[in-house]
């Protein structure tokens, strides 16, 4: 404990000394922030400095091994670092699918050469990754995917179409599931491949979402040559890797939507409650609309309860317990919390919450509306809620097929 306190002091001092002032207070969640990559753009100039300094210390990936560019922190230390960053209102220096999805997967399944090639570049924010799982014909039934990879000497020739590929237009590399054995049972003929997006034959077409933004794309592969050494784990054993990565993806989504630190005490009024007081006024110190007030309280309380659940899993992991069944509920519940919150925000705005663009609406109200629309995808991306419930019923409750 005493060592942790020393670590806390040193960490705080270092952060205070090294965090550029213009990054303080920037959004600290996993969806907004600095994605890095070959074509990185920075919200403020200090963000680039912040990334460089933190990466040098290994603190873009605090708990990864030092030899691969991480910070080598023990779970307790990583928690302290994140607490201190929260306290000082410092955003993460880097976010993205490299850190949350492919990195942890490579640590588990990658060979030495792959770890050396990719992990450091992820930690330094040099390469941005995207995820090529879904296809037009393979969504929830992911294992029925058809993008094929045919062996040609030391290469595979990849042909097919991926869809809903988030940020494919901005990414430098893609991790993709491809079919390498069409004759095998569907889960047994899949291989997990790492592909440089600059390889000839890849084309990307952005797709517009109902929110008016287009963060996801159709990604087309036309005879794309990929070296066999880019296979993660073994040929035809990609399904195991794919599932493990989905686990990382789901906990990332859970963290992003209220898991991280939500069990901690929040002294200030919740964002929802203060918005409601501001817009609806109050009656005797209470939000004027009692029904909305009740729903906001429910949302705040469920958020807190969920935060405690995430904390329970983390404390258990820290104590060396194997991940318990409680982690299977994170994806469903976290996304539903976020979706409820977004809906409540729009309902709180009332007539100001239904603007699309232009005069009569403030920038922040328009953003709230777009965010509400975007949030409808939360219970679809990363495996739909129905699929998560299937998993809980089967794996946790042992209900029959």
Partner 1 sequence: MELILTEDQELLAKTAADFVSEHSPVSRVRKLRDAKDPVGFSKELWKQMAELGWLGIPFPEVVGGAGLGFAELAVVLEALGRTLAPEPFLSTVLLGGQVLLLGGTEVQQKEWLPPVVNGDCILTAAYQEPQTRYDLRRVATRADRKADGWRLSGEKIQVLDGHVADALVVVARTSGGEHDAKGLTLFLVRKGAPGLEITRQSRVDSRNAALVKLSGVAVGPSEVIGAVDEGGDLFENVVDRATVGLCAEMLGSMEEAAASTFKYLKTRVQFGVPIGSFQALKHRAARMYIELELSRSTVMAAARAVDEDHPELPKLASLVKARCSDAGILIANEAIQMHGGVGMTDEYDVGFYLKRARVAEITFGDASHHRDRWARLSGY
CB 142 within 8 A of CB 112: no
- Is 165 one of the binding residues for ligand FAD (CB under 6 A)? yes
Contact with ligand FAD (CB under 6 A) among 5, 222, 315, 386: 386
If one counts every other C-beta atom within 10 angstroms of the C-beta of residue 148, the result is 17
Strand duo 155-166 + 129-132: pairing: unpaired
- Distances in Å between the Cα of 28 and the Cα atoms of 77, 91, 113, 125 are 19, 4, 33, 17
- Is 277 one of the binding residues for partner 1 (CB under 8 A)? yes
For residue 253, what is the DSSP state? H
Locate 265 and state its tokens. 């005490």
- Is 211 one of the binding residues for ligand FAD (CB under 6 A)? no
- Is 131 one of the binding residues for ligand FAD (CB under 6 A)? yes
Site map 64..103 versus partner 1, x via CB under 8 A: ----------------------------------------
- Distances in Å between the Cα of 104 and the Cα atoms of 65, 164, 198 are 11, 22, 24
Residues 312-351 binding partner 1 (CB under 8 A) are: 312, 315-316, 319, 321, 325-326, 329, 332-333
Contact with partner 1 (CB under 8 A) among 24, 283, 298, 354: 298
Residue 344, Ramachandran bin (φ over 0: left; ψ between -120 and 50: alpha; else beta): alpha
Which of 68, 164 has the CB closer to ligand FAD? 164
51-59, 166-174, 300-308, 354-362 -> range binding partner 1 (CB under 8 A) = 300-308
If one counts every other C-beta atom within 10 angstroms of the C-beta of residue 321, the result is 11
- Is 393 one of the binding residues for partner 1 (CB under 8 A)? yes
If one counts every other C-beta atom within 10 angstroms of the C-beta of residue 209, the result is 16
- Cα distance between residue 191 and residue 207, in whole Å: 26
The entry of ligand FAD, partner 1, none near residue 200 (CB within 5 to 8 angstroms by kind) is none
Strand duo 129-132 + 173-179: pairing: parallel
CB-based contacts of 240: which residues, under 8 Å, 6+ apart? 109, 233
- Is 183 one of the binding residues for partner 1 (CB under 8 A)? no
Contact with ligand FAD (CB under 6 A) among 381, 391, 392, 396: 381
Residues 248-267 binding partner 1 (CB under 8 A) are: 263, 265
Locate 271 and state its tokens. 């964002």
Q: Which residues bind ligand FAD (CB under 6 A)?
A: 131-134, 139-140, 164-166, 216, 377, 380-384, 386-387, 390
Q: Which residues bind partner 1 (CB under 8 A)?
A: 263, 265, 269-270, 273-274, 276-277, 282, 285-287, 293-294, 296-298, 300-302, 304-306, 308-309, 311-312, 315-316, 319, 321, 325-326, 329, 332-333, 386, 388-390, 392-394, 396-401
């Amino acid at each position: 404990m005493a060592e942790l306190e020393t670590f806390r002091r040193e960490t705080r001092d270092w952060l205070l000394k090294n965090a550029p002032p213009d990054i303080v207070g920037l959004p600290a969640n996993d969806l907004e922030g600095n994605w890095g990559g070959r074509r990185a753009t920075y919200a403020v100039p200090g963000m680039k400095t912040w990334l460089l300094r933190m990466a040098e210390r290994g603190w873009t990936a605090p708990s990864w091994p030092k030899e691969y560019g991480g910070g080598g922190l023990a779970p307790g230390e990583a928690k302290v670092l994140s607490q201190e960053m929260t306290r000082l209102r410092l955003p993460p220096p880097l976010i993205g699918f490299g850190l949350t999805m492919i990195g942890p997967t490579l640590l588990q399944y990658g060979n030495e050469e792959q770890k050396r090639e990719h992990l450091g570049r992820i930690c330094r924010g040099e390469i941005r990754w995207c995820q090529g799982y879904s296809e037009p014909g393979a969504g929830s039934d992911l294992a029925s995917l058809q993008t094929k990879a045919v062996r040609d000497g030391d290469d595979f020739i990849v042909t097919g179409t991926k869809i809903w590929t988030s940020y494919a237009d901005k990414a430098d590399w893609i991790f993709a599931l491809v079919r390498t054995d069409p004759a095998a049972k569907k889960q047994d003929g899949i291989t997990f491949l790492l592909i440089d997006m600059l390889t000839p034959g890849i084309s990307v077409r952005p797709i517009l979402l109902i929110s008016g933004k287009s963060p996801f794309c159709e990604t087309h592969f036309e005879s794309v040559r990929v070296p066999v050494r880019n296979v993660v784990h073994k040929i035809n054993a990609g399904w195991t890797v794919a599932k493990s990565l989905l686990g990382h993806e789901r906990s990332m989504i859970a963290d992003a939507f209220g898991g991280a630190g939500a069990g901690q005490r929040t002294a200030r009024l919740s964002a929802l409650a203060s918005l409601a007081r501001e817009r609806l006024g109050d009656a005797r110190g209470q939000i004027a609309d009692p029904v909305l007030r009740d729903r906001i309280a429910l949302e705040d309380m469920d958020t807190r309860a969920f935060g405690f659940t995430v904390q329970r899993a983390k404390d258990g992991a820290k104590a060396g317990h194997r991940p318990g069944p409680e982690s299977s509920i994170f994806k469903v519940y976290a996304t539903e919390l976020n979706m409820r919150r977004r809906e409540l925000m729009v309902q709180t705005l009332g007539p100001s919450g239904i603007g699309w663009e232009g005069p009569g609406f403030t920038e922040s109200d328009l953003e709230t509306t777009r965010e509400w629309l975007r949030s409808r995808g939360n219970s679809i991306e990363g495996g739909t809620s129905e699929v998560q419930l299937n998993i809980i019923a089967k794996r946790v409750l042992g209900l029959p097929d």
